[in-house]
């Protein structure tokens, strides 16, 4: 996850993804960071934990038995899932050929610039039917998809 993303965003992203697996203490979070980047300090982790708590992305559970835990709030979970999906898309883009990237860019342009009622056809071959064409139609805030015979 390094597509022009600041280290601040990376740390926040990693904290949110870690907490998708369930509540964790700051020590557990720091240990996970140090497995991949040994220079992560506990102070850095605390800084971003506090920032995320302040934004209501995570919830701090007070100390019990000497340990406090952090868990995702509903908005934090949505944010973490969105970021995770975004990362999956970026990984898939990294696997694309230049021709597929251009086709993808053309499709994105259509999605961004199209007006209601506009249509866009795209060839989506699969193993069972290499001649499948899909037609996308912009209808208000949705894209309708249908097979083209």
Q: Tens of pLDDT along 80-103? A: 999 889 888 888 888 888 888 888
Question: Is residue 22 left, alpha or beta, with left meaning phi > 0 and alpha meaning psi from -120 to 50?
Answer: left
Do 70 and 30 lie in one domain? The reply is yes
Domain that holds residue 67: 7-92
Do 36 and 80 lie in one domain? The reply is yes
Dihedral of alpha carbons 123, 128, 129, 132, sign: negative
- Give the separation between CA 64 and CA 88, rounded to whole angstroms: 36
Do 45 and 104 lie in one domain? The reply is no
* pTM, 2 dp: 0.62
Residue 114: inside a domain = yes
Q: What is the pLDDT of residues 23-70, one digit of tens each?
A: 998 888 888 888 876 666 788 888 999 999 999 999 998 776 678 899
Do 42 and 73 lie in one domain? The reply is yes
Beta-sheet strands, E only, within the chain: 24-25, 58-64, 67-72, 119-123, 133-139, 142-148
Of 68, 92, 116, the one marking the end of a domain is 92
Do 111 and 74 lie in one domain? The reply is no
């Amino acid at each position: 996850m390094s597509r022009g993303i600041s280290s601040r965003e990376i740390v926040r992203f990693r904290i949110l993804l870690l907490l998708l697996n369930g509540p964790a203490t700051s020590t557990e979070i720091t240990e996970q960071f140090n497995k991949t980047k040994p220079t992560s300090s506990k102070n850095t982790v605390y800084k971003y934990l506090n920032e995320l708590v302040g934004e209501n992305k995570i919830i701090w559970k007070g100390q019990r038995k000497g340990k406090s835990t952090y868990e995702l709030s509903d908005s934090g979970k949505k944010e973490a899932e969105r970021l995770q999906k975004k990362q999956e898309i970026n990984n898939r883009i990294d696997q694309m050929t230049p021709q597929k990237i251009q086709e993808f860019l053309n499709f994105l342009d259509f999605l961004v610039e199209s007006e209601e009622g506009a249509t866009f056809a795209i060839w989506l071959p699969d193993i069972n039917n290499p001649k499948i064409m899909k037609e996308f139609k912009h209808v208000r805030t949705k894209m309708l998809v249908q097979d083209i015979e």
